[in-house]
Amino acid sequence: MTGSMTGSMTGSMTAAVIGAGPAVVQRTPVADTVVVIAKQPLPGKVKTRLIGEFSPHEAAELAGEALNDTLAAVDGLAPRRVLLLDGDPGEWIPTGWQILQQSQGDLDERLSAGFDAIAAGWNAGPYGSTRHVAPGRVVLVGMDTPQLSGELDRLDLRNHDCALGLAEDGGFWAIAFADASVARSVIAGVPMSRPDTGAEQLCRLRQAGLRVQRLPVLRDVDEPADARAIALGHPHTRFARRWRALAGSSTGAAQTGAAQ
- Give me the pLDDT at residue 9, please: 31
Least reliable range by pLDDT among 115-129, 162-176, 178-192, 215-229: 115-129
- Give me the pLDDT at residue 109, please: 97
Q: Is the pLDDT of residue 127 over 60?
A: no
Domain span at residue 209 reads 33-259
Q: What is the mean pLDDT of residues 189-214?
A: 97
Whether residue 202 is contained in a domain is answered as yes
Q: What is the mean pLDDT of residues 218-230?
A: 97
**Mean pLDDT of the residues in the chain:** 86
Alpha-carbon span 220 to 149, nearest angstrom: 14
Q: Which domain CATH number covers 239?
A: 3.90.550.10
* pLDDT grade for 145, boundaries at 50, 70 and 90: very high
Query: What is the length of the chain?
Result: 260
What's the one-letter identity of residue 29? P
- Which pTM value belongs to this model? 0.85
Q: What is the mean pLDDT of residues 93-112?
A: 95
Neighbours of 143 (CB within 10 A): 27
Whether residue 16 is contained in a domain is answered as no
- Give me the pLDDT at residue 121, please: 84
Whether residue 28 is contained in a domain is answered as no
Q: Is the pLDDT of residue 4 over 80?
A: no
Alpha-carbon span 161 to 104, nearest angstrom: 27
Whether residue 17 is contained in a domain is answered as no
Angle at 124 between CA 92 and CA 96, to 5 degrees: 45
Whether residue 23 is contained in a domain is answered as no
Whether residue 24 is contained in a domain is answered as no
Whether residue 19 is contained in a domain is answered as no
Between the two ends of the chain, the Cα-to-Cα distance in Å is 34
Sequence-ordered list of residues with C-beta below 8 angstroms from that of 14, at least 6 positions apart, any chain: 42, 43
H helices present in the chain, as ranges: 56-74, 107-119, 183-187, 197-207, 224-233, 238-259
- Give me the pLDDT at residue 260, please: 36
Whether residue 15 is contained in a domain is answered as no
- pLDDT 10s digits, 61-88: 999 999 999 999 999 999 999 999 999 9
Contact 77, 138 (CB under 8 A): no
Give the chain's domain count: 1
Q: Is the pLDDT of residue 106 over 90?
A: yes
